[in-house]
Structure 1
Amino acid sequence: MHFYWLIYISYISAKISSSGLTMSSPKRIKRDHPTGSGSQTSTFTKGPVNQESTQDLLVKLSKKEEEIQNLLGELQNLSQTLTPDFTFDQSFRKKFLDPAINLLFRTMKKELEDKDKTIESLQHELESVKFTPNSITGKKLVAKLRALQEENEELGRQLRQGRVEQYEVEIALQRKMIYELKQGLEESDNQLISMDNEMERLQDLVFRLRAKVKLYEDKYGPLNNSPVDITKLEVVNEEAESTKVDQKPDI
């Protein structure tokens, strides 16, 4: 604000200087007054004469001079009040027109604009980072969570289906093993039954042979290492077949 006042004061001072007036008291010029009372001191040089009387013209000029002097005094006081030690001379104007200072001010202005842009971008980033349902980041996170939830549900279904299929395969394998074991047991049982039958048949054969040997020994004497007469053996066999034995001897 003081800067504008100084410019205004400088402008007024320049106008006053161009008009021939100064900040000091103006020089009064002596002029002969035509009123017959001798010479009278006048405040301005001779001006153009118009239809008004010379007396009225001098009075008006005196009033204007007093007003100008008052304004000059107020202007000087105001200048001293604003900047007591400051004189707005040509060197000060040159300082304001210095290219280095101008470049410095332009650089500072550009840096200030860059800082404002940086602050604005940071504010936008801060608003975007805030987690709210209506913010951009919030919407992205919600969408990502929903996608992950759906993916987990799908994986759970696949896992359950895979486990069921695995259990079914294991059950089928167990059933197959049980079936094979049953078949093996049945075959073993059949073999045991056949072996029992074969054993009974052999026991019966041994019993009959012993009976035949006993009949032979009873009739012909004990057997020795001598060869057996086939004719006699046939007779014994016929007698043994005709004889029924009620008791089986111990094996």
Structure 2
Amino acid sequence: MRLAGKRVVVTGGARGIGAAMVRTFAAEGAAVAVLDVLAEEAGKLAAEVGGHAVEVDLADVAATRAATQSAVDALGGVDVLVNNAGILRFAPLLDIEPHEWDEVFAVNVRAMLVTTQVAVTSMVAQRAPAFPGDVVGKVVNTASMGGKAGGAGQAHYAASKAAVIGLTRAAAEELGPLGITATCLCPGYVLTEMGAGTRTDADVARWSARSPLGRLGQPEDVARAALFLASPDSDYLTGEALNVAGGMVTH
């Protein structure tokens, strides 16, 4: 019960990696609120774990701000914010339209800024650090291996995930004195619903060969890493971008 008594908000928690996080956090004692545009799936998962669900389009700034506050209020406060929501788009670099670039950044990066502003404001109001290094709140962001290694055909996605890493590092610098850590996860290839329609068996075999472990990730692999970052076990870790890529990226 590593998160006993903790209140956790998870964006993009209705399915895939986010759903695995929600189940993992709940199993470890956390009260969880799920923010997602997939209202029905989020509601079913919230009911399964005894949590709360809030429907939101994270591309809408005002709606994101209101939904995050609603989730915090439903939990009676917040101890951990997990910014997991993201969208994946494919297009050759020379064909990406500005509106497509903006769409990816709106959900993958800008929404993280808005949710962080709301959640951290609540964290700060709840309790001040009792001593230097006392951790009173945590922000965990989901970036990607693509944010470090790039990726042909997905420049807007890779650039947005590099921005998440940069945002996390800046947040760690600013929020540390407030007793709040900021970290991010960089998953490699993970078999989820996102991108399922674009991958083939040959793709899976080729990607698996890139890992010294010889397999792709599962949502639970990332969820367990998120649990570590959300738990007191990582209290002296901030600003880090933790690879969960089976050795495909090691820097």
Common fold: TM-score over 0.5: no
Question: Which one has the bigger strand percentage?
Answer: 2
Question: Normalised by the size of structure 2, how large is the TM-score?
Answer: 0.18
Greater RCO, CA 8 A, separation 6+: 2
Compare CA radii of gyration and give the structure with the larger one. 1
